[in-house]
Amino acid sequence: MRLSSRVTIFAVMLRSFLNRPLAENFDAKTQVRLALQSGLYVFLFVGLLNGSFRRLGDTAVVGLMSVGCVVMVILANVIIPKLLPVFYDEDRWTVGRHIIHTLLVLFLISVSNQLVLTLLEAGRPSFGQMYLLVTAIGFFPIMLGVFVAEQRRLKRNLAQAQVVNGQLHQRTPQTPVSLPATTPQTQTATQPTPILLISESGKERLTLQPGQLLYVESVGNYVDVHWLNGSQLQKSVLRSTLKEVADKLTGHPQFFRCHRAFLVNLDAVVQTEGNARGYQLTLTGIQTKIPVSRSYLDSFNARFERLA
């Protein structure tokens, strides 16, 4: 095999690895707890490594470095994600982004360590040496912990997705999604109450039978309503919010908000795939995969089980 071919294969494998989805939670409460754990790790690890607990002065230095670690982890995991929401989108979080973020965290901790040593006029290495030392101590344990947690989460999500698929295979013949009959007699006798979606201005209205509505996606100040007209997929755009649409559908348990930007008709789901972040839903007649984010997994499973 030529060297160029090997390089190409390696590049493809590396890109695939870096683009692997990861679940991350930048919630302040979670990250503050993580920051305190990181500070304790630094205090114990550095103290034991250098024998600092035998000397009060050295113990104070390690203590201040631990406090600095806590502050920097909160800065990196709480404040910076709010300043850079596009990069820190939890639904697009990948291995590559997490590696970059981890290196940033270690960089900030190195800055904190250098500041502490400078203020205390203690002996200190160059910043490059400090960064290499902090990275050597922290990078691999952090990444190993992430991958172990992700493998557990992935295994659980894949198993639960198979359970959902089993329920789908049992119920699919009984729950076709199609355009209802249009004769007045049939509508009155057998069809459920139509769904009326109205824009904020009240000028745009969309009336659908529940079986026609596949999913709704929030796009800025608008929602894209995807629905079936016979066998044809249609999209209507309304100026509204996903919450307002969800409120309109509270009387229809088959409609479920599965993501901050998506609401889905569970009767239209034909397949579920699991990944580290959650699920990907395949709906009848469309190629778009609908995500179920991690925070909605438990309620999704419970709702789907009731409907099945």
pLDDT values of the chain reduced to their tens digit, one per residue, 308 residues: 677 777 888 888 888 888 888 878 888 888 999 899 888 888 887 777 665 445 545 778 888 889 999 999 999 999 999 999 999 988 788 889 999 999 999 999 999 999 998 888 777 789 999 999 899 888 888 888 888 878 888 888 888 888 888 888 877 544 444 544 444 444 444 567 889 999 888 888 999 999 999 999 999 899 999 999 888 899 999 999 999 999 999 989 999 999 999 999 999 999 999 888 889 999 988 888 999 988 899 999 999 888 87
Where along the chain do its domains lie?
3-159, 178-307
Please name which of 272, 38, 60 lies closest in space to residue 142, comparing C-alpha atoms: 38
pLDDT reported for residue 54? 53
DSSP one-letter string for the chain: --HHHHHHHHHHHHHHHHT-B------HHHHHHHHHHHHHHHHHHHHHHHTGGGSHHHHHHHHHHHHHHHHHHHIIIIIHHHH-TTTT-GGG-BHHHHHHHHHHHHHHHHHHHHHHHHHTT-----HHHHHHHHHHHHHHHHHHHHHHHHHHHHHHHHHHHHHHHHHHHHHGGG----PPP--HHHHHHHPPPPEEEE-TTS--EEEE-GGGEEEEEEETTEEEEEEEETTEEEEEEES--HHHHHHHTTT-TTEEEEETTEEEEGGGEEEEEE-SS-EEEEETT--PEEEE-GGGHHHHHHHHHHH-
What integer pLDDT is reported at residue 186 of this predicted model?
41
| Predicted local distance difference test score (pLDDT) of residue 214 | 95
pLDDT at 50: 63
Q: Which fold has domain 178-307?
A: OB fold (Dihydrolipoamide Acetyltransferase, E2P) (2.40.50)
H or E element in which residue 293 lies: none
pTM, two decimals, is 0.69
Tokens 């994600």 locate to 81
